[in-house]
């Protein structure tokens, strides 16, 4: 209940209609309990006395009660359908927004399938709880209470016989529900893993087909599916045991009460109408008792879903609107930025104790309008260092200054208006070329789009697409080549005229001729902005005014390309792997 109680902030905006629907359902359910009393009156009165008019009157009352009951249940459904759908939508939106605000380190730890299942299956389970389980647990509770009072009022001795299994039934249900909750949690975790496998198989279908790996993936998928199958069967067995107990014990007590009541009628101690009313009330309560087992199982499953939902929401997200402690950076596009790294250190949160930090005391200054190439061996921390600038990760030591302002003193929205990034692995979304390029550039127009596509040498292939820049590129942009995707990512980085441009080896997927054209266009862009470029080849290094060598987590040398070739053996060794014409391996 603690987990489910946390849903109240989402329900609060619609609580009026929801709380009105529950009493209406209680009234409708209690109306059904009045029908046996009408039957008692009919049997002991008009039927026994042979008054046909009284029988017709009783039949009319029963019909009226049935119609009113059905109408009230219809109104209850109308009251709750739309607001509870809005609650689910609000929860899904909150979860999605929180996921996008969580740091990259969180997404490095969690699989996408687990997160997708929390935003789909888990929220569907919570919607079912709010729409069905929660109101009907209340309705069933009140109905059982009223029914028990009516049973005892008809004949208290028969009522006690009928209610005898209540305590053992509650104890057994509690035991089975605890085991069901554990099985439900396991099933949801396994479903999340299966979702991850399915997503990876679809996104990596080209690799799967290229290596003929589909049979092995199918076998692995089948093994995971069989695990879920086994867990679901375990849940079904527990639910079957619960349902059997809920059916067996009440039915046994009902049979005993019926036999005892029949003996009393035969002895003249009980009227036939009273026994009929008692039996009718008991039969009216029977589906209520039976459905309560399923409602408890649904509630247990929903509690598991709530745990998983809030497990993500409880992850601390950075405060995007932290007040600036220093002066505010200038508006994007007004001037090139001055960037300073002061003793920057970084260690991944999940790094084993005692493992050295990825970055240790990195210090570097990039003057306004200067381009610095960051060079180093694979695994030296280049991509990690540039990811610290837009605060995709937070430094664990030292600081990064933008025009003398610590970047942590700026809101992320403000910082990212100043800084633009292009990654080596371009990510495109299932939307148009224009929307992908203009992502985050709020005030860019068609002219800016055309300029950015021209800089990235993407205007030619974009114009050749069926709808030009309005063409949808499909999921992950897989309808385009790797070089085309990389050029669109580069266009996205330059379209907003950033004050600081961070490029993580943005030309690695381009052919020699396209790379030369892009570099020529980039030179014009780099002349008006500050840039930090991760470079692996001399052709990319040639874009820079200076080169910084990152080795062992530290900046070990800074100078021009020619200076470092003469004075730094490590840098010369790195550059010697590539011919100076940019035709290195890709």
Enclosing H/E stretch for 63: helix 52-101
- What range does the domain containing 194 cover? 2-313
Residue 149 counted as domain residue = yes
pLDDT for residue 583: 38
Same domain, 111 and 231: yes
Helix residue ranges, H only, 438-511: 446-455, 459-464, 482-494
What is the Cα–Cα distance from 522 to 494, expressed in whole angstroms? 9
pLDDT for residue 198: 80
C-alpha distances (whole Å) from 506 to each of 372, 458, 480, 503 are: 14, 14, 16, 6
**Residue-wise DSSP of 194-252:** HHHHHHHHHHTHHHHHHTT-HHHHHHHHHHHHHHHHHHHHHHHHHHHHHHHHHHHHHHH
pLDDT for residue 372: 92
Residue 550 counted as domain residue = yes
Same domain, 309 and 384: no
Indicate the Cα dihedral angle 71, 76, 81, 87, nearest 10°. Answer: 180
Q: What is the 3-state composition of the chain as percent helix, strand, coil, each rounded to the nearest 5?
A: 65, 10, 25
Closest CA to 130 of 167, 90, 168: 90
**What CATH number is attached to the domain comprising 158?**
1.20.1560.10
Residue 502 counted as domain residue = yes
Residue 334 counted as domain residue = no
User: What distance lies between CA 244 and its chain's CA centroid?
Assistant: 36
Other beta carbons less than 10 A from residue 293's beta carbon: 21
Same domain, 423 and 526: yes
What is the Cα–Cα distance from 453 to 467, expressed in whole angstroms? 15
Question: Which residues neighbour 206 within 8 Å (Cβ) at sequence distance 6 or greater?
Answer: 478
Domain count, the chain: 2
- Count helices and strands (H / E) in the chain: 24, 10
pLDDT for residue 323: 42
Residue 322 tokens, joined? 């932290």
Residue 353 DSSP class: T
**What CATH number is attached to the domain comprising 559?**
3.40.50.300
Residue 58 counted as domain residue = yes
Same domain, 306 and 396: no
pLDDT for residue 400: 92
Same domain, 282 and 426: no
pLDDT for residue 331: 44
pLDDT for residue 211: 66
Same domain, 55 and 144: yes
Residue 114 counted as domain residue = yes
Same domain, 367 and 272: no
pLDDT tens sequence for the chain (586 residues): 777 888 888 888 877 777 777 788 788 877 777 777 777 777 777 777 677 777 788 788 878 888 887 887 777 777 777 787 888 888 888 888 888 888 887 887 887 778 888 888 888 888 888 888 888 888 888 888 888 888 788 777 777 887 777 777 777 777 777 788 788 888 888 888 888 788 777 767 666 766 677 778 888 888 888 888 888 888 888 878 877 777 777 778 878 878 888 887 787 777 777 777 778 888 887 778 777 777 877 888 888 888 888 888 888 877 654 444 444 444 444 578 899 999 999 988 777 777 888 898 899 999 998 999 999 888 888 888 988 988 888 898 999 999 988 988 888 878 878 888 888 777 888 888 888 888 867 778 888 889 888 888 888 888 988 888 888 887 777 778 777 888 888 888 888 888 898 888 777 656 677 777 777 777 878 888 898 988 877 878 888 899 999 988 889 999 998 899 889 988 888 887 654 443 333 2
Residue 268 counted as domain residue = yes
């Amino acid at each position: 209940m603690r987990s489910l109680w946390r849903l109240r902030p989402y329900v609060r905006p619609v609580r009026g209609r929801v709380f009105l629907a529950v009493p209406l359902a209680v009234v409708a359910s209690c109306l059904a309990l009045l029908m046996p009393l009408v039957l008692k009156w009919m049997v002991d009165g008009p039927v026994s006395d042979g008054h046909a008019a009284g029988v017709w009157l009783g039949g009319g009352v029963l019909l009226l009660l049935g119609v009113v009951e059905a109408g009230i249940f219809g109104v209850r459904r109308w009251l709750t359908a739309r607001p509870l759908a809005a609650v689910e939508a609000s929860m899904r939106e909150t979860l999605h927004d929180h996921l996008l605000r969580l740091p990259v380190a969180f997404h490095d730890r969690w699989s996408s399938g687990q997160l997708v299942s929390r935003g789909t299956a888990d929220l569907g389970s919570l919607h079912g709880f709010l729409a069905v389980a929660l109101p009907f647990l209340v309705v069933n509770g009140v109905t059982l209470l009223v029914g028990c009072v009516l049973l005892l009022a008809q004949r208290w001795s028969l009522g006690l016989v009928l209610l005898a299994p209540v305590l053992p039934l509650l104890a057994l249900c509690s035991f089975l529900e605890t085991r069901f909750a554990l099985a439900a949690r396991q099933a949801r975790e396994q479903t999340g893993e299966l979702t991850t496998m399915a997503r990876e198989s679809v996104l990596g279908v080209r690799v799967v087909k290229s290596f003929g790996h589909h049979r092995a993936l199918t076998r692995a998928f089948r093994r995971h599916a069989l695990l879920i199958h086994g867990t679901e069967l375990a849940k079904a067995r527990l639910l079957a045991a619960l349902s059997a107990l809920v059916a067996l014990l009440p039915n046994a007590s009902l049979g005993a009460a019926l036999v005892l009541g029949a003996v009393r009628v035969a002895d003249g101690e009980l009227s036939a109408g009273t026994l009929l009313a008692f039996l009718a009330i008991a039969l009216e309560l029977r589906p209520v008792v039976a459905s309560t087992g399923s409602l408890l199982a649904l509630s247990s499953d929903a509690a598991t879903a709530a745990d998983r939902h809030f497990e993500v929401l409880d992850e601390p997200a950075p405060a995007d609107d932290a007040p600036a402690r220093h002066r505010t950076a200038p508006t994007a596009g007004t001037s090139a930025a001055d960037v300073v790294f002061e003793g920057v250190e970084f260690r991944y949160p999940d790094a084993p104790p005692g493992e050295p930090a990825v970055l240790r005391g990195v210090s570097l200054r990039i003057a306004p309008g200067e381009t610095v190439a960051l060079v180093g061996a694979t695994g030296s921390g280049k991509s990690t260092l540039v990811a610290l600038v837009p605060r995709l990760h937070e430094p664990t030591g030292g600081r990064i200054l933008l025009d003398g302002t610590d970047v942590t003193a700026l809101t992320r929205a403000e910082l990212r208006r100043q800084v633009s990034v292009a990654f080596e692995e371009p990510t495109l979304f299932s939307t148009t070329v224009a929307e992908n390029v203009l992502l985050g550039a709020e005030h860019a127009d068609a002219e800016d789009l055309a300029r950015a596509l021209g800089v990235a040498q993407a205007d030619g292939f974009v114009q050749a697409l069926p709808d030009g820049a309005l063409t949808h590129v499909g999921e992950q942009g897989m309808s385009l080549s790797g070089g085309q995707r990389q050029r669109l990512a580069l266009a996205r980085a330059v379209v907003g005229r950033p004050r600081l441009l961070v490029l993580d080896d943005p030309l690695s997927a381009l052919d020699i001729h396209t790379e030369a054209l892009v570099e020529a266009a980039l030179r014009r862009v780099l002349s008006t902005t500050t840039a930090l470029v991760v470079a692996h080849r001399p052709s990319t290094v040639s874009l820079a005014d200076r080169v910084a060598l990152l080795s062992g987590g530290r900046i070990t040398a800074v100078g021009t390309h020619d200076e470092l070739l003469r004075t730094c053996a490590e840098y010369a060794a790195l550059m010697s792997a590539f011919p100076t014409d940019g035709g290195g391996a890709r």
